[in-house]
Structure 1
Amino acid sequence: MTNRRTVLKTLAAGSVAIPASKIFAGEMNEPSNNKSSKLKGNINHSVSQWTFSYLSLDDLCLAVKKLGFNAIDLVGPKDWPTLQKHGIYSSMCYTAGKNDLYNGLNDPANHEQLIKEYLETIPLMAKAGYKNLICFSGARRGMDDETGMKNCRAALEKILPTAEKNNVIMVMELLNSKIDHKDYMCDHVEWGAELCKHVGSENFKLLFDIYHMQIQEGDIIRNIKDYHQYIAHYHTGGIPGRHEINNTQELYYPAVMKAIVATGYKGYVAQEFIPTYPNKLDSLKEAIEICDV
């Protein structure tokens, strides 16, 4: 199954998305019904670029606007001018360098390079008016959780003064280590929240990926209620399979979204599922409607 790592490596290499005229029938640039209903405004909607990578970024920007929202997730500095041209916000940024899920902040061997990349990217984000910058714990590789937390904190303490100065939030993603990302360290919300407490800065928080956390530990709504103060961003995805978030999967997303709204959350919820409908943008339109509580 295509995953974010594979697609982002392709995007980072500068590959060009297939033009719409070359895409097989059904993968169109507009939803079947392109009349977007007025959104309620309780949820700030976004979509992860890699899940619609068959579209050029220009075409994805146009599709997003037609659906009535204005943000795209997981975009690096080289593509920010394209977003800006269309008036689309980068709701979760990547660094310009190699930002690897498995070679992350928990390993001191990675610190020099990662700190350099973050310190270079943060001022660029501030200049562009962006706020969230993704980071990863890395794999355990036999490391215990306490040592990993200590190492992450050491790296973050060198990054956060610049982040605080520029009003940028370092956001560590929670990923499941059961199925998709074996050995990943930040795989429980409790561990991530404990790291937030150790770091002690409002400029370090968590990306709560609902798909990953349902696989890893479940109890989604309770965890959102208990740990919302440490969460800066959300991702969606149908379970199992990371496809559409409709009634073919095990979570009832309207209830999850209502729980998020009830915490007072004002950030973004990004759709990060792999679409299977013949017209993939119909999947995105449906997901936005499901989450617009």
Structure 2
Amino acid sequence: MVDPTVEKLISDHSFVNYCLSKSAEDSAYWDNWWQQHPEYIDVVEEARQMVLLLVDRPTEEEFQIERTRLLNHVVASEKQIKLWIRRLWKPWMAAAGLLLIGGITYQVWKQTRNIAATAAANIAWVDQQVPDKKIMHVALADGTVVKLFPGSNFSYPAAFQDSIREVKLDGGGFFEVAHDAAKPFIIHTEEVAVRVLGTSFNMQAYDTDNQTKVALFNGEVLIEHHGKQQTLSPGQAFLWDKVSQSAHVESFDISQERQVSNGLLVFEHADYEEVTRQLTRKYGIKWQTNIPVKIQFSGTIDQESLEDVLNHLTYTTDYRFTLQHDTVRVQQN
């Protein structure tokens, strides 16, 4: 492509396939193309984000559910504020005859500030829940963009007011953190905290998984875990094993890891529990079996249909995986 623009790229069928990981040939072509033309990397990334945003738009049903949830949250917050005001007002009225006007005025000012601060603390945080099978984009007030993976729970303030920017994650996501040297960005999970200034990385920290992983694409991050600290450089991944309570740093395939943010699953000697957790999030399915299932599965799953995945598991293990409605039945072969 000569002199690419966002409009040209999002209209190009092979580029769309590359963004959605639908064609290995197109992915190889565009990976090679932008490496040979690094001057266009910003245009390519902007176009890629545009394609993903267009694809990931929620359904009308999901939009209405989220709209109702946020509306209920606002109404509940308003009721709580009014309740605090009523509770605070009655003692003031009873004591009005015993206090000087100046003292009353000061107390009203002070308590009003406390109410405002408490109310802000209660209504400022937004909880974003991502259904299985879905990927969602969230734009934070500071310009940070987060691409949340299926089955994630992400909590963030509507506006960052303190000297640090703090969010909470139970799940996975691709983070592009807006640079602000005066306000470090901190992601809190069950096991670790990730501190950054401005960078991009993948993070997988589901509470139910046995491993937490942070894979850094560019910039620098500081991992804080169990009283220890670990700094990452681009191309390095931090892995925390919850079972053995051990951590290590390793290099990773940047091209493959970028595909993870588009839905690629990577298994390395994964047991049945790990396979079911990840496939449940990707395909939104349930599992049923009355026998112990022991497998060690290695491989990658990208845009394959669920039927193809289950057939592959059947051919490579000692078990038969069959789909009935939205439930996978596992039986001995």
Q: Same fold (TM over 0.5)?
A: no
Greater gyration radius:
2
Question: TM-score if structure 1 supplies the norm length?
Answer: 0.27
State TM-score, norm by structure 2: 0.25
Higher strand share: 2
